[in-house]
Structure formats: structure tokens, C-alpha cells
Structure 1
């Protein structure tokens, strides 16, 4: 197997295998398709909110619960996926998620009531939760250390491309039909077709998952070392036998990990598990998904038209894609912790400005804040700068770290617990936003600003750098 010379931090040369990069990228991309559906399914609701509210005459409170139903399902799906992934394997769990995505898309588009829509969104949420755990775990387990950050960032890239695709689909359908509530093809309103548009990627995800190999670390944990060796040979070539020995040394049982394996001396859990949980929850408490779930409604509330609001949201999603590309280029060069720190500072500043602008804005006859002239322009700039700061830091880096920070034996179940906590936080932020919006956007963005400051303090004190380290070496440090 060809090798190349790399230099360690201390200046000593080390041998780095020339891995089968194209194959590893392909395997990672298939896993990241779950991230695409994750982003698509969570964002597609954005363009349907006003139409759904008008169709079913929903109150703000009930509408908030319906929008957030997917997040409840996501917490359940994430929590259960660790056990499924350890029992059935990573690719099979991906197939299960793809089936749930498909059922949710069809059911949501055909929903006859707000409650049935909430039920189908719950099913889709379970698929999202499963995908949010399986993709980072699988990518981390098949990636060599010097590529793991970039390949792990594919999850966030897929998420933001999924968000962009959903928003573009919403915009195109609403524009073509005249509005999201207008009748479109086959006598169905455009908002129903917005949900149907998730069907093709759900099918592609399921087919792709059937074609990729199982994670070698999962195979070793299940006592299937011959199969694990074959997979490792396609990734690291002649170094496969030594890598197999390393993996074997960190996996001491063929039994699937359970929640009791996460027990530790601090408040009932291992310290590394607590760090993962808080890290995951802070990613949501900074309010990023308010931008993608409610942005069209938000911008309408401050004076923009429906189509202009959707166009602004599309521009915001493009910003998110560009900054995720930046993260992919930087995460293995500068490390995880520096990106988190810079991102936290940027988010705190931009959210603080938004809190001030919305808190001091005048109100219209309906009690909504109205921004005029330079204030509206500054709000748009700060909103996109906020997305920029999140996009190169807390968006992709959190998924990279959740995939690599836990020991091999408990990775899937620990990641599942952290992801479930993240979805609970996501639900709390999303479900409370309509009420906070009524109370005042200044208050809402003030709370998100405080979370951004807390994320900075937490990163400085508790996050350990994992750049360039093999998963087996990270394990010894936890």
C-alpha cells in the first residue's frame, strides 16, 4: 500500500497511508444522504406554515406544536437509533430511516387534518433522529484520522443542502401556483406538493444504504472480524491488520452497548457523555432553527411580502452552504475547538444586534415589530452573518465531534443520547418561538444571545481538541 510522509505537531515524521479516498468519500456521501433528508424534512415546513394555518384554521399554539411534532419524533428516533445501530448495523438502520422518510412525506402531503399532519410529521421526525445519529457515527468509524473532520462535515453539508433544496422547492411551488395555498397539480394545493417532494431523495437514501459496507468497528464489536478486515482493506490497504488489532483493543465485548454502560461518577453519567449532551443542546439553544423553520413568517412580520420572505430565506440557506464549505476546508487544518470559539463570538455579537433592533423597533397595528430603512438592512445583514458564524463552526463541528469524541464501545448509544437531548432542545426552541414572537422578538433574540455567550464559555473550559487523532487514541484520553 503506498504511503506518504506527514509531520506531527512535535516535528517528528510519521507514515500516513494513502487511503482509498474516493471509496471512503462515496461511503460517507451515502451516509450523509440521511443528513440531506434531515435538512429537507425539517425545512420543508417553512413554506407551508401560513397555508397550513389557513387550511386548518390553527391557533398559534397548535401550529407551533404541529411544526415541532417532527422534533418530538426526532428525539425518540435518535434515542432508539443507538440500540438499533448496534443490533442491526449502521446501513440497515439507514434503510429503516429511509422507509420512515418515505411514509412521512406521503402521509404529510395527504393529511386531512392538523392532527394527522402532526402524526405524519412525528413519523418523519423519527427518521430524522435516526439519520442524525447514524451518519456521524458511521462516517467517523470508516474515516482515517487526517480526513475525518472533512468527511464528518459532509453531514452538515448535506443538511444545509437539504435545507436549501427544500426552500427552493417551496419557493418554486409557491411561485408557480401563485401561493402555497393555491391549487396545483392533480387538484392538490401547492403546500401538499412541498411535502411530496421528499419522496425521491428518500428512495435514493434507501437504495444507497443497501450498497455500502458495514462499519468495521461495528463488525469487530459483533465478533465478525473477517468481514471487518475486508472492509478495512478497502479503506487502509496493507495497514488493515494492525488497524484491526487497535480496534479490537478498544472493544471488549460482542454485546451491544446499553444505557447502563454510560453510567459514571458525575450526576449518573460519564463526563464525556455530559460534554456531548451539553454540546449538542447548545447547538440548538443559539436559535439557529428559528431562522429555517420560521424565517418566512418572521420576515413577513417585519414588513416583507410572502415571496420576498421566501427569497430571503433561500439567500440565507445559500449563505449556510458557502460557510459549510469553508468549515470543510478548515476543520482538519485549524481544529475543532478554535472554530467553535470563533463561531460563538460571532453568533453572540450578531444575535445581540438583532435583539437590540427587534427590541427597539416600532410596532404595527397587530403588535408586530416594523423595521424601516437602515434598520431592516442591518437586520438582514446580521441574520446572514449569524448564519455565517454558525455555518463554519457550531453547525458542522458539533456533528464531527459527536461522531468522534465517544469511546468505540459506547459510541452509538452515547451519540444517540446526545442527539436525543439535541432534539429536545430543538423542540423547546421551536415550540416556544411563536409565543416568544408574540411577547417580543427582542426577548427571543436576547435569550439566543445568552446561549451563544454560554457556548463560548463551555467550549473554552470543557472541549478537548480531537484534530488528527485516531478514534482509538481519543478513547484513551476520555
Structure 2
């Protein structure tokens, strides 16, 4: 694999880094912005999930737009939108401004998540395509790592005191630092070539061959060019013959569409973005305290990076199918472990522990001193009834730390097991598989449609997760995710094909019926 090809793939997938950074940052931001704007469960869910809602729109149109004007031009627009979103989010003066600013970022990462794997698959060869497309997921998890690390240090500086950072402005800095990688992404995109397969579909053959020669050298470029031209021969890819939704429903594409949809839905419906986007809040539920919750986010993101690298090493050795099956089974087990750990928890405040709480109005909790709760929902409702939503939201970490008796290690093992299993399976492998399943003519549009469904599920999970915790409780919420993963394992066991080591043209011949 040439260094130039590796560098191109890394630059293109930096949009994934920005997605991961934005997703990781918001888990810490909401600890401050939520109380400041006095948000209820649905409003909190909307601030967190609004980028995914906007991403759905971008995913539908970005694939088709990139088929018309090219992958590179749309990616440059994406980088610009990321920068605008970071600035407006940092300066948000209201709940409405905050979610609108985040929706602008959602348009960016919706397009980036579709176009980066598409572009990388189109510039890669069969033997290294899995690794290169997986760089997208690596960048996503590196973004999470950078975000959790950034949140941890901003939070640490804030609680240590000082005149510069306060509870009212520290979250703005958390959001604003995203401007730096966004500008870097914008600049670097001007130095990557256009997609050679896209150029061939536009009959710009000489330009496409120059790109292939620049990446692979004369000999290998000639082989790749002949393979691509052969696959396009007889296929009409001119602009006037647009690919429509009904084209994806025809019998010849039915199998690959079903596989893509199953994997696309399963990736999000098992709750990965609930864990990532609400990581700080979830760790608070174990009673470890706010500071430890921020620190645990770093551990979570470190595990993600390690196991994503494992996936990149194994994906072109073991194949897509084994990684997906083993990972999904592990996800189901891990989530059920979390559910069991939360189910065993009890909650009790004493007069002594209440006296250690340092916020104004803490003495109101004396009315519930020595009462033992087996339900986290009942406990939180009683706390909110006397403190109000704003005060409880701002101090929930300290209150839960004093009141919770739980096997926090068991829950932590479950969460980290879930993250690890996702990181070497559904996380990177889904995008690799989607970039391989569909013929050249349909690839951009088909990935956009499945990514739309994927993003819709992600949005729903993020939106209702705070409501689920408040109404179902921690244990039932994680049990539902685990049960879904368990069912998904058996569905994939039956339908998943293997695409390892095959050219895009071979996969089309085997899986797309004529």
C-alpha cells in the first residue's frame, strides 16, 4: 500500500474525526449547558440528537449530489459547514440557537459519513480496501478520544477554580475548539485528487488515469483502469439517467439492499450513540461522581481506539462476516451485563451524606433521609420534586455519588465490553460492507439511502435516551438494547455474505442478480 494512498484516505476521512469529536464533546457539554438553559429530557435529547436529524437530510442528497459534481467538491463544503457549526455553537445564547448551530454540523457529518467511505472505496484496490475504508472509523474514534480528553481537562480546570472558566462559559470552549480541526480539514481537502471511478463515469478517462498513475504507478494504474472500464461497459451512468429510489427496489438489488439495511439499522439500534453521546451521564449513574465520570470517558474512548485498530488489522485477514458476528454477540452479552449491574443497585441518602453536599438547598433532601430505593427512577423523581430539575441536573453527579450502592466495576466492564465489541465489528465493518455491496452506478445513492435509515435510528435513540432513563430506568433501558443485539446476531448469521479480497466488480457479479 502506497503512502500517498494512505494519506489520501486519512485526509478524506477526517470528517469522521470531526463527527467523533462533536459526539464526544456534547456528552460533557450537556453537564453544563443543560442546567444553564434548564432543559427537560426531550429538550436535552433534541440538543444532542439534532445533528443526527440534519444528517438524515444530508445523507439522502449528498450521494446523489456527489454523483453529479464529484465527491471532492461536496467534502470541501462539508469542512466549511463544520467550521461554521463550531463557531455558532460556542456563541449560542439560547436553546434554539444551540440546536440550530448543531444541525449545521449535522449536515456536514451526514454528508461526510456517506462520501468518505464511497470515495475511499473508489480509489482503493481489493486487497487494501477494508483497511482504508476502516480509517473512517479510526478517525471517528480518535475524534471521540480527543473530545473526552478535551472535556476532562476543561472540566478539571473549571472545578479547580479561577477567574477565566466558569460553569457558564466552560461548555462554550468545549464546543469552540472544534474549529481548529475543521479548518485543517478544509485546507487539506484541496490537495486530494478527484475519485478516479467517478471520473470514469463522467467519461473523463484521461484525467482518471492520471489520478490512478499518481497513486499506484503506471503498471498497476493500467490494470485498475481496465478493470473499472470493463465494469462500466454497457452500463449507462450519464447524468440524464438518474438513479431513483425505485431502482434500488428491483429484484436484482434486493439481496444487497436487505443486507445493507439490516447492518445499517443494527449498528445504531443497539444504542452505541446513546453510550457515546451520553457517556458522562451514564457514568454518573454508577455513583462514581462527576470528575470520575469525565475521566471514565477517556478510558471509554481509549478502548474504542485500540479495538478499532484491531478491526483494521483483522478485516482483510478474517473477513467482514466473522468480525460482525463475533462483535454483535459480544455487544449483546455486554449490554445484558450492564442491565444486570444496574438492576442490583440501591439508592439511599443519610443525614450525614446530605450534609456533605455543598450546593444551595441540599438540606431539602433531609425529607428523604434513610429511605432506601430499589429503583433509580423513583429516587430521581423524589430528588427533582424537592430540588427542581435545574438544581438536580447541575448536581446529579454529587447526589448519586453519595446515594448509590452498586457494583460499578460490573457496569463499567459491561460498557467497555460493548464499546470494544462495537469498535471491531459494527463500527468500521458496516461502512466497509456498504462501500462494497452496490454496483458503481448505484453506490453513491444506495449508501445515502441506507445511511439515512442509519441516521434516523441514531437520532431516535439519542432523542429518547434521556426520557428512557427517566421513565424506564437504567436496567430496563440497557436490557432492551441487549435483547435487540441478541436478535440481530441471529438475523446476520443467516444472511451475511463475505466480501473479503474481492474486487468491487467480482462482488457485483456474485451478489447482484441479472
TM-score (norm 2): 0.85
| 8 Å CA contact retained: 1:250, 1:409 | no
| 8 Å CA contact retained: 2:59, 2:111 | yes
| 8 Å CA contact retained: 1:168, 1:314 | yes
In structure 1, what is the equivalent of residue 429 of structure 2? 397
Q: Which runs of 5+ in 2 are unaligned?
A: 349-367, 369-377, 381-399
Q: Secondary structure at the match of 2:317?
A: helix
Shift of 1:424: 0.4
Give, in whole Å, the separation in 1 of the partners of 2:137 and 2:158.
Answer: 31
Indicate which of 323, 326, 337 corresponds to 2:307: 323
CA gap of 1:262–1:205, structure 2 versus 1, over 3 A, is farther
CA gap of 1:342–1:187, structure 2 versus 1, over 3 A, is closer
In structure 2, what is the equivalent of residue 334 of structure 1? 318
Give, in whole Å, the separation in 1 of the partners of 2:308 and 2:476.
Answer: 29
Deviations 1:126-168 (A, max 9, x none): 1010110011111111111111111111111000000111111
1:422 corresponds to 2:450: no
Larger deviation, residues 235-244 vs 201-210: 235-244
In structure 2, what is the equivalent of residue 69 of structure 1? 50
1:209 corresponds to 2:189: yes
Give, in whole Å, the separation in 1 of the partners of 2:59 and 2:442.
Answer: 15
In structure 1, what is the equivalent of residue 485 of structure 2? 452
Shift of 1:271: 2.9
Deviations 1:167-211 (A, max 9, x none): 11111111112289x974699701001111111111111111111
Q: Secondary structure at the match of 2:249?
A: coil
Q: Secondary structure at the match of 1:175?
A: helix
Give, in whole Å, the separation in 2 of the partners of 1:276 and 1:372.
Answer: 43
1:116 corresponds to 2:116: no
Deviations 1:400-434 (A, max 9, x none): 11122211111111111111111101011111111
| 8 Å CA contact retained: 1:109, 1:196 | yes
Shift of 1:385: 1.4
Larger deviation, residues 257-266 vs 389-398: 257-266
Indicate which of 251, 255, 261 corresponds to 2:238: 255
1:169 corresponds to 2:144: no
Shift of 1:464: 0.8
Larger deviation, residues 324-333 vs 296-305: 296-305
In structure 1, what is the equivalent of residue 503 of structure 2? 470
In structure 2, what is the equivalent of residue 433 of structure 1? 465
| 8 Å CA contact retained: 1:341, 1:456 | yes
Shift of 1:34: 0.9
Give, in whole Å, the separation in 2 of the partners of 1:451 and 1:255.
Answer: 42
Shift of 1:260: 3.6
Give, in whole Å, the separation in 2 of the partners of 1:353 and 1:186.
Answer: 37
Q: CA RMSD in A?
A: 2.1
Give, in whole Å, the separation in 1 of the partners of 2:312 and 2:59.
Answer: 25
Give, in whole Å, the separation in 2 of the partners of 1:183 and 1:303.
Answer: 29
- Aligned residue pairs total 456
1:136 corresponds to 2:120: no
Indicate which of 270, 281, 291 corresponds to 2:254: 270
In structure 1, what is the equivalent of residue 418 of structure 2? 386
Indicate which of 30, 36, 43 corresponds to 2:11: 30
Indicate which of 231, 234, 254 corresponds to 2:211: 231
Indicate which of 221, 226, 248 corresponds to 1:245: 226
| 8 Å CA contact retained: 1:262, 1:414 | no
| 8 Å CA contact retained: 1:319, 1:387 | yes
CA gap of 1:394–1:407, structure 2 versus 1, over 3 A, is same
CA gap of 1:121–1:183, structure 2 versus 1, over 3 A, is farther
| 8 Å CA contact retained: 1:25, 1:151 | yes
Q: Which runs of 5+ in 1 are unaligned?
A: 1-18
Shift of 1:277: 2.1
Larger Rg: 2
Larger deviation, residues 225-234 vs 308-317: 225-234
| 8 Å CA contact retained: 1:99, 1:206 | yes
Give, in whole Å, the separation in 1 of the partners of 2:409 and 2:228.
Answer: 54
| 8 Å CA contact retained: 1:35, 1:162 | yes
1:367 corresponds to 2:367: no
Indicate which of 74, 78, 89 corresponds to 2:70: 89
| 8 Å CA contact retained: 1:46, 1:296 | yes
TM-score (norm 1): 0.91
Deviations 1:286-325 (A, max 9, x none): 1111221111112212312211101011101000000011
